[in-house]
Structure 1
Amino acid sequence: MTQQGKTRRRSVALLAGGSTAGQLITFGLTPLISRLYTPDDFAVLTVISTIALTLGIVSALRFDAAIPLPKRDQDAYSLVHLGLLATLIITTTGVIIALTFRQPISIAFGIEALSSWLWVAPVSAGAMGTYVTLSQLAIRRQDFRPIGTRNVMTPSLTSASQLAFGTGGLQPGGLPLGYLVGQLAGALSMAKRADLQSMRSASIRSPQSLKKVARRYRRFPLVLAPSALINSLGTQLPIVLIALSYAPAEVGSLGLAQRVLYAPVVLVGVALSQVYLSELSRSVREGGSNIVSQFVRTSAVLAVAGFVVALVLLVAGPQLFSTILGHDWEMSGRFAQLLAAAIALQLIASPLSQTLIVAERTALQFGWDLSRLLLTTGAVALCIMSDLSAEKAVLAFSLSTAAAYVLSWLMSYSAVRRLRATHP
């Protein structure tokens, strides 16, 4: 085995090991958490986490995505500064909006308890933006240990905090507060290993340096940030529509289903995604010739994982959920069964979509993001306007999402072949 292959395996093992440990702890605690909180309680968390995920992906204005690309470390550090500054501004604005409009927002969703905890969403998004920015710096350095540590810490502390708050009688607030604890811990763990002292140089954080770098990578905030927002909305906006249109118990059941289904995406997809991005970025910088084989090899691993996950959900989804989590959560199992196709294809295509970023095919990525948003949101909206059940709305969301991810994989494959042609 080549040294590059050994490095790749160690990186995958480190990230997957951290993710596995964190998700195993979450799996172990979820049956206890599901017996402390009701589906109505989970509706509060579902809305808050949906908002946080939507904001978190764009809070750094996607300057974070450019960090692995510059040849000079000085430019990369300037991008870190820009990402953290943007995160601070967007988080502060979000908190002000949440506190000002919490009552009308809670009334719109029909969830009274939401008004007390809505502020958690923008603060959690800020923690996500900080983590994403610093993790890209770690990826540039190929320092995967802090990412692996975070992958253990965030889900573990989230679940442990939710369990502790629930045991103490803090319902439903224990769910969003635990979610916030996990996100903050993840961001702080990355900050400890980020060597932020290196970024205090005047040449790195001077207005001239920041302007120069911002101008060089202006497509990331101008094109990729709106694209990332639309990308996130393609997943989150249909959930918002469902939360606005159906009973809180159904919304909470869907939220728990997504919580459980996210585990395989983290266990396999995120780990391989981060290593794939690091290797592909380095190969492009060094003019490597193996980028197509990297893509195909990673696709094969993800396809096996996606098939296994889908098969388990289709055969035994409702039974597993009701047996492990309690009879109150059988509806979550039915939702998980309906989401099987979307989860499997997301697991395959989403990690590989990093190819479009490395290839700087930002306009193409934007087009896909917009198409998915229109497809998924339109499918769910049509079900709502037709007065169909929540289950049919979730099925429409799943099938439209699956179709979008098939297109995403095809686009990524085309992009990596173009990269190979320009880097012989």
Structure 2
Amino acid sequence: MDPLKAIRFRILKSDFIRNVALLTSGTIFAQALSFGVSPILSRIYVAEDFAAFTIYTQIVGIFSILSTLSYSEAIVVPKEENKARKLSNLAFSLSVLVPLLLFLFLPIVEKLIIYFAKIENTKHLYIFLIPISVFLNANRNIINSLFTRTKNFKGNSKNRVFESILGSLANIGLGYNGLASLGLILGNIVAQFSFNGLSLLSLKRNIRILDFFQTKIDKLTLSEYKSFPLLNSPILLTDLFLITAMSFSLSNLFGTYTLGLFAFTLKIIQTPLTLVSTSIGQVFFKRIADEVNQNGEYGLFFRKVFSQLLILSIVSIFALKIMGPNLFAIIFGESWREAGVYAGLISPFLFANFIYKCFYYIPIVANKQKTYFILNTFYSFSLVLGLFVGHYFFQDITKTFHLISFLAVGISCLILTWFYRLSKTKVVHK
């Protein structure tokens, strides 16, 4: 058989490729459905509803990471089933404990929201539901790890599809009944609950569910896998920091209406960009790994991919700046025309972030994760600081978004220059 045909045959028969395709298909459908119902949701909910939902989900995201301390990610690691079971029980115990403690500290959380987001009336945030969402979200992370460990990728993909359908239907139905931001929040809870419930039924074929969801904390397991809370949790929290800090800062400085428009714009533009950058990043990772094994460097390939992404980004930015307001008004309703203006203003920021996230794996190949973590943290803090500087000097959201985009492009260029230098440096794997 021809060597190239043999390679293609092995790729098609590869369990890895097939499993990635299964997971990706569910994710693509979920994202497509989310985008498809957006023109309906934009005519049911107003900007302030999306602002409240954004603040709610950002708080849930932070406490979800803290609620398992990333022990949920460690479930995949051990060969022994007994260790995996102990890790699952540890993560589940924390997922119960943290929301219970959170109930006690909700008054403090509310005061922090009032202070940082400058929201005087927090009734529309429905803070009392946060611990429930944290519990469901934390257990979703545990379930995802169990799916991966048991290689039940088909079940995971299928349940993501059902989650998206039920969540979207709930958002539409509750919104038509005039529940405002509560409709978005309850729709999210319905989606989480449906995924967890259906997933437990799917996992029953692979494991004894009750053995993996017990409130037991093993001290040896806590110590043996301490690198996950010490290293993984800070990285995950840093990734969440940028959008969370920007959301609270926008609400504080420019009001919930501006935050709502910004949040809706991110939902429409950043969500598909994240999906594309993740896919490109995975393919790029495989290619540069091959290049490193053959030549030790991949500078030429980096330049080729970068130039293509740059052209795509420039064309998209100009399209959003010229047609963004009209497109948003036609698709999502006249009341969202200003969100289209925002799309044009922040498009350089979104596409700069998109390009450099496509090359996320370069520091991993070069074993420079620590440097990348520092640069990524600097990037996030600079953009948040830019919001305050823009508000202080300009008192105008348009000029502030121009400043944010300028900072994002500038810092991204520095990071990409570093990436390029790494791509030209020969990597030797011992």
Partner SS for 1:169: coil
Conserved? CA contact 1:111–1:248, under 8 Å:
no
Q: Which moved more, 1:94-103 or 1:28-37?
A: 94-103
- Listed one character per residue, the Cα deviations across residues 202-260 of structure 1 (whole Å, up to 9, x for unaligned) are 9x9975xx433433332221233123212211221121111112122211111111121
Shift of 1:114: 4.0
Shift of 1:166: 1.2
- Find the counterpart in structure 1 of residue 49 from structure 2: 41
Matches within 5 A, 1:251-270: 251-265=259-273, 267-269=275-277
Which residue, out of 182, 191, 194, partners 1:185?
194
Gaps of 5+ in 1: none
Name the CA distance, whole Å, in 1 between partners of 2:316 and 2:131: 32
Name the CA distance, whole Å, in 2 between partners of 1:275 and 1:73: 32
Q: Which moved more, 1:320-329 or 1:193-202?
A: 193-202
- Find the counterpart in structure 2 of residue 85 from structure 1: 93
TM-score, length of structure 1 as denominator length: 0.78
- Find the counterpart in structure 2 of residue 168 from structure 1: 177
- 1:125–1:235: structure 2 CA closer, same or farther, 3 Å change rule? same
Name the CA distance, whole Å, in 2 between partners of 1:316 and 1:205: 54
- Find the counterpart in structure 1 of residue 3 from structure 2: none
- Find the counterpart in structure 2 of residue 370 from structure 1: 377
- 1:400–1:342: structure 2 CA closer, same or farther, 3 Å change rule? same
Conserved? CA contact 1:64–1:79, under 8 Å:
yes
Name the CA distance, whole Å, in 2 between partners of 1:359 and 1:220: 22
Shift of 1:420: 6.6
Conserved? CA contact 2:147–2:153, under 8 Å:
yes
Gaps of 5+ in 2: 1-7
Shift of 1:112: 2.5
Name the CA distance, whole Å, in 2 between partners of 1:405 and 1:399: 10
Which residue, out of 239, 244, 249, partners 1:236?
244
Name the CA distance, whole Å, in 2 between partners of 1:125 and 1:414: 41
Matches within 5 A, 1:205-224: 210-224=218-232
- Find the counterpart in structure 1 of residue 387 from structure 2: 380
Shift of 1:264: 0.6
TM-score, length of structure 2 as denominator length: 0.77
Name the CA distance, whole Å, in 2 between partners of 1:135 and 1:407: 35
- Find the counterpart in structure 2 of residue 144 from structure 1: 153
Name the CA distance, whole Å, in 1 between partners of 2:414 and 2:93: 34
Conserved? CA contact 1:306–1:345, under 8 Å:
no
Matches within 5 A, 1:82-161: 82-98=90-106, 102=110, 105-106=113-114, 109-110=118-119, 112=121, 114=123, 117-161=126-170
- 1:206–1:253: structure 2 CA closer, same or farther, 3 Å change rule? closer
Conserved? CA contact 1:355–1:416, under 8 Å:
yes
- 1:128–1:407: structure 2 CA closer, same or farther, 3 Å change rule? farther
Conserved? CA contact 1:162–1:177, under 8 Å:
yes
Conserved? CA contact 1:16–1:268, under 8 Å:
no
- 1:411–1:189: structure 2 CA closer, same or farther, 3 Å change rule? farther
Name the CA distance, whole Å, in 1 between partners of 2:91 and 2:322: 44
- Find the counterpart in structure 1 of residue 397 from structure 2: 390
- 1:368–1:89: structure 2 CA closer, same or farther, 3 Å change rule? farther
Name the CA distance, whole Å, in 2 between partners of 1:17 and 1:304: 27
Alignment of 1:332 onto 2:339: yes
- 1:379–1:200: structure 2 CA closer, same or farther, 3 Å change rule? same
**Total equivalences in the alignment:** 411
AA at the equivalent of 1:166: G
- Find the counterpart in structure 2 of residue 14 from structure 1: 22
RMSD over aligned CA atoms reads 4.2
Conserved? CA contact 1:80–1:134, under 8 Å:
no
Structure with bigger gyration radius:
2
Name the CA distance, whole Å, in 2 between partners of 1:141 and 1:409: 38
- Listed one character per residue, the Cα deviations across residues 62-119 of structure 1 (whole Å, up to 9, x for unaligned) are 2234444444454444333333333333333334333565477458533625455123
Which residue, out of 187, 197, 218, partners 2:208?
197
- 1:124–1:147: structure 2 CA closer, same or farther, 3 Å change rule? same
Name the CA distance, whole Å, in 1 between partners of 2:343 and 2:310: 19
AA at the equivalent of 1:123: I
Shift of 1:184: 2.8
Conserved? CA contact 1:224–1:366, under 8 Å:
no
Name the CA distance, whole Å, in 1 between partners of 2:339 and 2:129: 24
- 1:391–1:239: structure 2 CA closer, same or farther, 3 Å change rule? farther
Name the CA distance, whole Å, in 1 between partners of 2:411 and 2:88: 31
Shift of 1:165: 0.6
